[in-house]
């Protein structure tokens, strides 16, 4: 699990996610759970309600924190982002997390 967390943190950092944001930690935990359990991230709006209980936060706060991380990565639009998302200029938070989960699974299998 430590390797998955390390890989998730590194990936988000490389994408330009603000490390000191609440959403960074939330995204790391969500990605780790999805990779470790090899399960898709809970679909769309349910992701916020599902993880709000885990994080002991409101669903709106979880949604806002994750959206902030996604938006910051999209604003960076660096080479790493393009290698994962192609030329996407608009992407939903759920799709963002799910694509990162797939990317991490591929990376972990490659090691």
- pLDDT tens digits for range 33-83: 999 988 888 776 788 888 999 999 999 999 999 999 999 999 998 999 999
Q: What DSSP string describes 31-48?
A: HHHHHHTT-PPPPTTHHH
Contact (CB, 8 A) for 33 and 47: no
What pLDDT score was predicted for residue 111?
64
Length of the chain counted residue by residue: 111
Q: What is the pTM of this model?
A: 0.91
- pLDDT category at 108 given cuts 50, 70, 90 is confident
């Amino acid at each position: 699990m430590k390797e998955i967390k390390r890989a998730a943190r590194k990936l988000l950092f490389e994408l330009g996610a603000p490390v000191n944001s609440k959403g960074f930690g939330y995204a790391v935990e969500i990605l780790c759970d999805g990779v470790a359990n090899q399960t898709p991230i809970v679909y769309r709006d349910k992701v916020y309600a599902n993880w709000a209980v885990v994080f002991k936060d409101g669903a709106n706060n979880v949604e806002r924190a994750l959206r902030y991380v996604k938006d910051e990565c999209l604003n960076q639009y660096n080479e790493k982002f393009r290698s994962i998302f192609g030329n996407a200029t608009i992407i939903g938070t759920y799709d963002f997390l799910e694509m990162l989960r797939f990317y991490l699974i591929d990376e972990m299998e490659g090691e």
